[in-house]
Structure 1
Amino acid sequence: MGDTDKPQVSYERIEDGVDSKPQEYRKKLEQNSTGPWYFASNFLLFWALLFLAVVVPLLYRLPVANTIEDASKGGFIAERAYDNLYEFDKIGPKVTGSDANENKTVQFLLKELALIQQSVLDDYFDMEIDVQVTSGSYLKSEIIYMYRAVQNVIVKLSPKNSTSDTYLLVNSHFDSKPTSPSAGDAGHMVVTILEVLRVMSTTKQTFEHPIVFLINGAEEKSLLAAHGFISHKWATFCKVVLNLDAAGSGGREILFQTGPNHPWLVDSYKKNAKHPFATTMAEEIFQTGLLPSDTDFRIFTQYADLIGLDLGQCFNGYVYHTRYDRIDVIPRTSLQNTGDNVLGLVRGLSNATELRNLNAYSEGHAVFFDVLGLYFVSYSESNGIIFNYAVAGATIVLIFVSLWRTASASNVFTGHVVGWFILILVLQVIALLLGLGLPVVVAYLFDKYGLSLTYYSTPALLIGLYVCPSLIGLSLPSFIYLKLQRDDKVSFAKQLQLVLHGHATILALLGFGLTLYGLRTAYVVTWTLVFYIIPLAINLLTTLHDRGFAWTGVLKAFQVIPFLYNSYLFYTFVVVLTPMMGRFGLSTNPDLIVSALTALGTIFSLGFLVLLVHISRRSSLIFLGLLAVTALTVYTASSTQIGFPYRPKTNVERVHYLQARRVFYEYDGTVSKDESGYVFDFQDRRGAAPLMGTKVNLTGLVSMKSDCEKYMMCGVPLNYKSTESSRVNGMWLPREQPIETPSVPVLELLSKTVLADNKTVRFEFNLTSPDQTSLLIQPYEDVTVSNWSFLLSLLESKTSSSSPFCINISYGIDSSPLNFFIELTKPNGDFKVPLFKIGVSSLFIHSKGDALSLKLAASFPSFAVAIQFPAMYQRYIY
C-alpha cells in the first residue's frame, strides 16, 4: 500500500511509555514537552502578583464608616464612636490609681451613659448603671495579685419585663499602661461598647436575655478589675462573655479564643459577624502562653466558669502600650468594622436559644477560619478529626492508584515505580527540612552577628531573607534528582508527578500526626491536601493523567484556592506577630520565630507550585535568581539603614527602665547599702546596642546577674510586670546622686508576739506605700510561714522553697495604709535571731521623676520610646 501503510510514530504514546521507540525520539519529545526558559520566573511572578492583588487588599479591607445621617438605619455609627474616642484620647494615660483613670475617665463614661439613658426606649428596655468599687485577690503562677478599691463601670440593659436569669456579659477595659493614651488598647473597644449600647437601647429590635456591659478600670495591672467583678450582684447571672481587647490599633479585630468547649459559640459568630476574621490556629497559638499578652477572658473562664468569645484588635502592634497609641492611627472604618461585628454578636448572643440550657451544648471544640474575610467556615472538632483522617487516607489511596496507572502507562512493573517513589519520598523529606531549615539558619546567623529584627520596620525584607531560601530548599533536591535520574522507562512528566506525590504524602502523614496529637490547626494541612487530591482524582478519571504534562493544568487551577488562603493565613500571622517581636525580651531570638513562620507559610502556599518550575528547560535560572535576591537582601539588611529595625513614631524601640533607689536594712536596723541607678528591662533582642553612639550616656551599664544570685528578685524594684527572664537579663546603670522619689514608703512593725505553742511567732505590720507595690517574703531555712493576711492557697501550693513569696498589691481610689500579719513557725522556738527577709518594692508610676532622670529620658533618640518612672526597693530583716 506504499508509505501510507507504514505505522506512524506517536510522540504522545511514546511519552506515555506504551510504544518502545529509539531513545532519540524520547529525548526530543521531553525537550518539546518542557516549557520555555522563562516559564519558571513568569510562573512565580504570577503567584506573587496574585498575592499582591488579592490577599493584601482583602486582609486590610474595611467597611465604609457610617455617619450620623445613617442613624435611622439602626446600625453602628462610627462617627459617633469616633467622637467619643476623641474625648477618651484627650484624657491621656489612664493608669489604675491615677486621677485620670479613677476620676476623669469614670466621669467621662458616666456622662456618656447618662446621655444614652436619656434616649432609652422606656417601653421596650430597662437600663441600670452602677459603679462598682471592688477589692480582692487571686493566685497566678505562685504570685498573689491583691487589689483594693479598683473601679468598674457597669450597665445592665434588659428587655421590658424580662424573666430570664441568664445574662450576656460584654467586657472591655478603660485603664492603660504608663505613657499610653490607650486609644487602641482599649479605647477603641470602650467606645464600641458605648455605641452598641446606644443603638440597642434606642431601636425597637428586642432580645431575650439581659446584657451586662462591663467597662473595667484595672486590666493592665494583671486583670484585677475583671476578677473584682465576679463579686458583683449581676455577675452570678452572667453565663456568656464577649471580651473585647487589643494588641494593636486600627484595622480588623480577630476572634482568637472561644469556649471553652461550646462550639455553638463559633456558629453564632458565623451567623452574626458581618466581617469575619478568625482562625483556630490563632486560638491554639495564643493558648500556649508563648505570646506576651493576656486578656480578661482568662479571668472569666477560669474563675467565674463563663464561656464566650475573645476578640482583639491585632494590627499595628508597633504603637501598642506606647505614647503613639493615639486616635490619629485609628480610622473610622476600623471602628465601623468592630462595631458591625460586636453589634451583630451582641444581638445574636442575647437571643441565643442555647442560653436557656447551656449544659446541653457544652461538648467539644470547633474548627473555624475565615476565607479572605469573605466567608467563614466552621465545624465541630469531632467532624474535623474524621475529615482530617479521611483526607489523609484518600491522599495515600489516590497516590497509590496514580503509581499503578503510571506503571501501566509506562509498561513497567508497579514495583519499579514504587522503588523510584520511595527515593523521591526521601528526597522530599529532605526538601521540607531544607525549606524550613534554610530560613532558620539565616535567622540564626543574623542574630549571631547582632543583626536580629532587620525586618521589623521593613517587612519586605522577609521575602529575600526567608521566602527565597525556603523556595530554594523546597525545590533543590527534586531539581538535582530530575537532572541526574536515568530512568528511561518512566517519562519526565511522570517523574515530576511523583515528586509532587511525595510532597503530598508527607503532608498526609503530617496531617495524621497533628490530628492524633490533638491540634485542630491540622485543618490547614487537610484543606491544602483537599485541593491536591481533587485535581488528582479528576486527572485519574480522565486521560489527562497519562498525557504528558496535561495533568498540570487542572492542578494549577485548583491550587489558586489553597495558595490564596494559606498565604492570607500566614501573612496575617507575620503582620500580627512581627510587632510583638519587639516585646519578647533579650532571652528570645525573635528571628527564629518569624523565619519559621514565614517558611511554613511558603511551604503551605507554594509547596506544590514551586515544584512545577522544573517544567522549564532552564529551571536552574530560577535558583540563580532566588539566590541573587537572597544575597541582595542579606546585603541590604546587614549593611544599609534599611535593615535598622526602628523608625520614629511608627516602629519604635521600647526602652523600659526604672529610676531606682535601693536600701538594704540589716537585722540591727543599720543600712548596709543605699544606692541609686537605673534598672533597664530591654524589651527586644538588640538590648542596649541600638542606643550606643547616641546622646544617651550609658557608661557603666552592667548586667544584674550577679545581684540576682545574691539578693531576692535581684534586689531591685520589680517592674510593672516583672518576669524572671527580664530580671536576670536586666541591666543596672549606677548614678551618684540619690534618686528622688515622690515619697518614701514606710513599713512599720506594730508588734511581735510569740503564740501559745511557743513555736510560732506573729508579726504585725503597717505599710504606707504607693498604689503599685510588691512584697517579697523569704523565710530562713529552718523557718516556715504558717499563716498570714494574704491568700492561704499560696502557702499550700508553693513548690519552690528557694524563691520568695511574692504579693503584688494595687490600689484604685483607696491608698490608705495596709495592715497585715505574718505568722512563722520554727521547731526550736528561738525567735531572737533573724527569721525572714521582707522586701518592699514600690513604683511611683504617676510621676515622671526628678530633674536628672528627666534629662536622661530626654536624651533618647527619636526612634526609642522611654517608658520609665521612679521606684524604690527596701529590704528588711526580722
Structure 2
Amino acid sequence: MDDKAFLITNEHGKGPFRLYTTKGSSTKGPWYCGIMFLLFWAVLFFSIVIPLFFRLPTVLHAEEDSGKGKFIGERAYKTLNDLNNIGPRVTGSNANEVDTINFLLNEIEDIKANMLEEYFTLETDVQITSGSHIYSSLLEMYQGVQNVVVKLSSKNSTSESYLLVNSHFDTVLTSPGASDDGFMVATMLEVLRVMARTEKYFEHPVVFLFNGDEEMGMQASHGFITQHKWAKNCKAFINLEGAGGAGREIVFQTGPYHPWLTNYYKKSAKHPFATTLAEEIFQSGLIPSDTDYRIFVQYGDIPGFDFAQMINGYVLHSKYDRIDVIPRGAIQNSGDNVLELVWALSNAPEMRETNAYRTGHAVFFDFLGLYFFNYTEDTGKILNYSAGVVTLLLILVSTCRMSAFSNLSCCQLMQRLIILSVIQIIALVFAMGIPLTIAYVIDSFGLSLSYFSSTYLIIGLYICPSLFGLSLPTMIYYQLQQNSNVSFTYHLQLGLHSWALIVSGLVLSLTEYGIRSVYILTIILVFYSISLALNLLTTFHDFGYNWTCLHICSQVIPFLNSSYVIYIYLLTMPAISGRSGSASNPDIIISVLSALLTVLCFGFLAPLINMFRRPSIVVFSLFLVSAIAMYLASSTQIGFPYRPKTNPERVLYQHVRKIFYEYDGSISQDESGYLFNFQDRREDQPYTGVNLTGSTKTKSECEKHMMCGLPLFDERWVGNRLQGMWLPRETIEPPSSTTLELLNKTVLENNKTVRFNFRVSGPPHLNLYIQPREDDFVTITDWSFSQDYLKNPPITPLSYHIFITFGIVKPPLEFFLDISKPSGDFNVPLFQLGVSGHYLDDAGDTSSQKFASTFPSHTVLIHWPSLYQRYIF
C-alpha cells in the first residue's frame, strides 16, 4: 500500500482532506487541555528557571581553610561587615579618606603578616592623584582622591605584564554601600588573602586596586590608569561592581575585541553567569549607569571583564544597602569565580602581549548557570547563517512532502505559507503592540511603576496581553479555515513554518547588522529545525498529531534559555526604573521586555492551542487575567509602587540658596528653596503629607538662565533639569561659605585676549558653569582645565560644566580663563560664571530637617544644602 492510500481523508466530516491514520489521531483534545498546556510552561519556568537562577553555593567557614586555595566566604562576609560599619563613605569625607584607608591598610598588613614569604612579595602604595576626564556633558575634575594599590607577585616571576583587579570603596550619600561596592572590596581582600597563603605559582603579578572615588564620576580609576607607576604594565583587568548584592554576579561586559578572555572565564568560573545580551543592552545606554570598565578601556586601552552584583537593586544607593540584605552564599559565589579567574589570567600566555590577540568580539552566554558557551563573533555569524539557511531548506522539504501526501501542489501550499506568514507578522505586531499600548495608557493615568513592588503584576499587565496578541490572529485564522482543503495538522505545521520563516529572517538580518545576541533566536531556530528534521525522517510529520511530541520536546531547551535570559532583565529593570528619572516612561521598557519574553518563549508554542477544542477559551482566559491585573494595579494598594525598606521611593533634593550677581556687583536675585531631581516617573505624586504649595517646574527657568540658574550637581541633574521642581522657602544660610575671588584681570599682548585669574574655595564638591556671551563673538581660548573639553564644548544650550571633587586635599583651587574678543573691548560683560558648593555631610538647618520629617515612610531621602552664585564678568 502506498503512503497516499494509507491516509484516511475525513476527520469527523469536516472537510474532504483531513489527515487521519491508524498511527496517530488528529482528533482535537478537550478545551481545558489548552489551559493546562500553557500552565505546563509556567510550571516549567517556576520549577526550573527560578530555582537555578537563585541557586547559591554553600558558604565555606574559616575552619575549612586548609591552605589549598579555597575562597572562605564567611571570612569575606566578616570583612564586609567591618567595612560596612564605617558607614557612608563619600569622597572627601573623613570616613572615606581616613577611616576606610586605615581599614584597608590594616587588612593588607594582616595579609602580609600571614603571607608565604618564600613564595610571594607584596607591595602596597597609597596613591593620591589629581586630574580630569570628560564624562557626558561634564568635565570631571578631581584633586587629591586616593587609591590603595597592592601588587602581589610570585618571587621567581620576571613578567612585566600585570593583571589588574579593581573595585571601589567609596559610596554615595547616606548609603553604607554594602553591595555597592563593599561586597566586591571584601571579595578582593579575600582573594588577595587566599592567593598570598596558597602554594600556587602564577606568572604575572596581580595588581589589586581599591579605588576611592567611583561614585563621583569614576575619577580614582582614571587617576590610576593614567598616572600610577604600575598602570602601564597592566595588560588586562577585572572590574568588580555592585548594583544589588542578593545573588550571583553577572559578567555583563568583556573585551572589547578580545574573545580569548571568555575562554578563561569558561575554564575557571565555577558558577557561570554571563550573556552577550547584557553587554549590548548596557552599551546601548538603556541602563542609566557606567562603570570603571569604560575608564580602563578608554584611557588604558586594555581589555577586561565587567562583573556586577545586580539582584535586589531596590536598595542600591540608599540607606538600606546594608549587609543584612546580602546572603553569605552570594559572596561565596563571587569569590569562587573571581579567585579562579584571577589565577587563570595570571598564568595566561596571552597576557604577555594582549594586543597580539586583538580580534573580533565574543559571543557568550550561560545556560541556567549550568554550562557556559562562548565563541567568536565570526563563528557566531557562521552558526546564525547556517541555522537560517538550513531551516529554510527544511521548510521547503516539509512543504513538498505535504504536497506529496495531499491534493495540493507545492505552489498552492507555498501560498498558504505566505498567508500564514502575514498572519504571524500581524500576531507579532499585536504581541509587541498591545503591551506597549497598555504601558502608554497606564502611564497616561499616572499609574506607571505599579509593578515596582508587586513584580508578579507584570504577568497580567504585559505578558498575558502579549500572549493574547500572539495567539489571537492565528486562532481566528484557523477558525475560519475549518473547511479548508488542507488537513488541519498540516495547516498547523504550516503555521509553525511561517513563524520559522520570520525567525529565520530576523536571524539573517540581525546577524548582518552585527547584533551578537541574536544567538537567542538561533538556539530557537536550531531546535525547531532538529524537531522538523526528525519528524521528517520518522514520518511522524505525516501522521496526525504525532509530530507534536517531538516539536514540544524540542521547545523545552529554547523555552528555558529564553525565559532565563529575559528574566534577568525583568528582575533588574523594575528596580532600575525607580532611579532612571521621570523623563521617560519605564513601563515602556518593561512592556517591551515582557513582549520579548512572550514572543521568544511562545512563538513556536502559541499556535498549538489550536490543537484543542475551543481555543477561544484559552485566549479569553488570558484576557481575563490581564483585566484582573489592571484592576489590581489601578484600584488597590497592590498597585502602589513603594514599600518601606524593601522597595523604597528615592527622593533626591537640595536645599538651595541661589544668588545672582550682576556685572556691577549688585544682587538681582537672592532666593532659597528645595530643588527636586525626580528619580522616577511618578515624581511628587506619592509625597503624601508633604506641603508642596507654591512649587513650580524648573523648565521655565532653563529658558531664562545659564544651566537653569540652578546648582545642577552632576550629569543626571543636567539630564533631568527640564523635569525638576522648585519649592520656595525662607532664606537658607549655608553651613559654610563658598567663595569666588577674582585675583586679577590682565589684557594679554595681542590686546584681543584678557586673562581672568580666580580662586574658588568651599566644600569638597564644587561645580563651575561657564558661558561666554554669544552676541559679541566672545570665546574662551585657553584655561586651566582640559583642552579637549575646551575644544569640544557641550551642545547648546548647555554651558561648560566642571564638576570638581576634592579627596584628602581640600580647596581652594586657583584657575584662569583667557577670554578673546575681536573688538578688544573688555569693559563690558563678557561671560557668566556660576559657582555651586555642595555640603554633602550636612543635614541642613532646622527647617530643612523638619521638612524632611514630613515625607512618608516609603521614601528614602538623599538631600543636602548647596549654595549657587552666578557672576557676570
Q: TM-score normalised to the size of structure 1? A: 0.97
Task: Measure the CA separation in 2 of the matches of 1:92 and 1:740.
Answer: 27
Q: Supply the AA of the counterpart residue of 1:14.
A: I
C-alpha offsets along residues 60-80 of structure 1, whole Å, 9 cap, x if unaligned? 000000001110042000111
| Matched position secondary structure for 1:410 | coil
Kept in 2, the 8 Å contact 1:774–1:808? The answer is yes
Task: Measure the CA separation in 2 of the matches of 1:372 and 1:142.
Answer: 40
Partner of 2:700: 706
Structure 2 residue 100 is matched with structure 1 residue 93: no
Structure 2 residue 771 is matched with structure 1 residue 775: no
Q: Supply the AA of the counterpart residue of 1:498.
A: L
Deviates further, 526-535 or 723-732 = 723-732
Structure 2 residue 556 is matched with structure 1 residue 583: no
Deviation at 1:437, TM superposition (A): 0.9
Q: Supply the AA of the counterpart residue of 2:78.
A: D
Alignment counterpart, residue 558 of structure 1, candidates 554, 564, 584: 554
Q: Supply the AA of the counterpart residue of 1:339.
A: G
Task: Measure the CA separation in 2 of the matches of 1:105 and 1:799.
Answer: 36
Partner of 2:371: 375
Deviation at 1:359, TM superposition (A): 2.6
C-alpha offsets along residues 111-158 of structure 1, whole Å, 9 cap, x if unaligned? 111110100101100001110000111123342111000000010000
Kept in 2, the 8 Å contact 1:15–1:547? The answer is no
Cα 1:133–1:723 change in 2 (3 A) is same
Partner of 2:173: 178
Cα 1:366–1:15 change in 2 (3 A) is farther
Alignment counterpart, residue 659 of structure 1, candidates 655, 658, 681: 655
Kept in 2, the 8 Å contact 1:754–1:760? The answer is yes
Structure 2 residue 88 is matched with structure 1 residue 115: no
Kept in 1, the 8 Å contact 2:10–2:20? The answer is no
Task: Measure the CA separation in 2 of the matches of 1:137 and 1:493.
Answer: 67
Task: Measure the CA separation in 1 of the matches of 2:19 and 2:358.
Answer: 64
Deviation at 1:383, TM superposition (A): 0.5
**Alignment of structure 1 residues 535-614 onto 2, 5 Å:** 535-614=531-610
Structure 2 residue 685 is matched with structure 1 residue 685: no
Task: Measure the CA separation in 2 of the matches of 1:262 and 1:350.
Answer: 16
Cα 1:491–1:25 change in 2 (3 A) is closer
Deviation at 1:161, TM superposition (A): 2.9
Partner of 1:740: 733
Deviation at 1:357, TM superposition (A): 2.6
Q: Supply the AA of the counterpart residue of 1:455.
A: Y
Deviation at 1:8, TM superposition (A): 14
Deviation at 1:699, TM superposition (A): 1.2
Alignment counterpart, residue 323 of structure 2, candidates 297, 320, 327: 327
Kept in 1, the 8 Å contact 2:713–2:767? The answer is no
Partner of 2:614: 618
Task: Measure the CA separation in 1 of the matches of 2:134 and 2:246.
Answer: 34
Deviation at 1:360, TM superposition (A): 2.6
Which sections of structure 2, spanning at least 5 residues, go unmatched?
Answer: none
Task: Measure the CA separation in 1 of the matches of 2:107 and 2:838.
Answer: 33
Q: Supply the AA of the counterpart residue of 2:423.
A: L
Task: Measure the CA separation in 2 of the matches of 1:774 and 1:26.
Answer: 77
Cα 1:54–1:642 change in 2 (3 A) is same
Partner of 2:79: 84
Q: Supply the AA of the counterpart residue of 2:449.
A: L
Kept in 1, the 8 Å contact 2:137–2:715? The answer is no
Partner of 1:4: none
Deviation at 1:31, TM superposition (A): 9.4
Partner of 2:470: 474
Kept in 1, the 8 Å contact 2:26–2:489? The answer is no
**Alignment of structure 1 residues 754-833 onto 2, 5 Å:** 754-781=747-774, 782-798=777-793, 800=795, 802-833=797-828
Kept in 1, the 8 Å contact 2:88–2:173? The answer is yes
Q: Which ranges of 4 or more aligned residues in structure 1 deviate by more than 4 Å?
A: 7-12, 20-32
Task: Measure the CA separation in 1 of the matches of 2:297 and 2:435.
Answer: 38
C-alpha offsets along residues 441-476 of structure 1, whole Å, 9 cap, x if unaligned? 111110011010101101111111111111111111
Q: Supply the AA of the counterpart residue of 1:789.
A: S
| Matched position secondary structure for 2:525 | helix
Deviates further, 339-348 or 352-361 = 352-361
Task: Measure the CA separation in 1 of the matches of 2:14 and 2:451.
Answer: 55
Structure 2 residue 668 is matched with structure 1 residue 672: yes
Deviation at 1:655, TM superposition (A): 0.7
Deviation at 1:543, TM superposition (A): 1.1
| Matched position secondary structure for 2:716 | coil
Structural RMSD (CA): 1.8
Q: Supply the AA of the counterpart residue of 1:43.
A: F
Q: Supply the AA of the counterpart residue of 2:764.
A: D
**Alignment of structure 1 residues 352-367 onto 2, 5 Å:** 352-367=348-363
Q: Supply the AA of the counterpart residue of 2:249.
A: E
Kept in 1, the 8 Å contact 2:129–2:224? The answer is yes
Task: Measure the CA separation in 2 of the matches of 1:23 and 1:670.
Answer: 93
Q: Supply the AA of the counterpart residue of 1:846.
A: D
Deviation at 1:290, TM superposition (A): 2.2
Q: Supply the AA of the counterpart residue of 1:71.
A: D
Q: Supply the AA of the counterpart residue of 1:649.
A: K
C-alpha offsets along residues 499-558 of structure 1, whole Å, 9 cap, x if unaligned? 111111100001111101101011111111111000000011121011011110101111
Q: Supply the AA of the counterpart residue of 1:195.
A: E
Deviation at 1:12, TM superposition (A): 6.5
Kept in 2, the 8 Å contact 1:16–1:546? The answer is no
Deviation at 1:15, TM superposition (A): 4.6
Kept in 2, the 8 Å contact 1:583–1:683? The answer is yes
Kept in 1, the 8 Å contact 2:651–2:860? The answer is yes
Task: Measure the CA separation in 1 of the matches of 2:229 and 2:796.
Answer: 39
| Matched position secondary structure for 1:625 | helix
* Number of aligned residues: 867
Deviation at 1:25, TM superposition (A): 9.1
C-alpha offsets along residues 636-674 of structure 1, whole Å, 9 cap, x if unaligned? 111000000000000011110000100000111111100
Deviation at 1:24, TM superposition (A): 7.6
| Matched position secondary structure for 1:467 | helix
Deviation at 1:802, TM superposition (A): 4.5
Cα 1:689–1:421 change in 2 (3 A) is same
| Matched position secondary structure for 1:710 | coil
Kept in 2, the 8 Å contact 1:658–1:719? The answer is no
| Matched position secondary structure for 1:537 | helix
Partner of 1:159: 154
Kept in 1, the 8 Å contact 2:833–2:872? The answer is yes
Structure 2 residue 236 is matched with structure 1 residue 243: no
Structure 2 residue 39 is matched with structure 1 residue 45: yes
Kept in 2, the 8 Å contact 1:12–1:548? The answer is no
Partner of 2:412: 416
Deviates further, 208-217 or 779-788 = 779-788
Kept in 1, the 8 Å contact 2:238–2:304? The answer is yes
Deviates further, 798-807 or 662-671 = 798-807
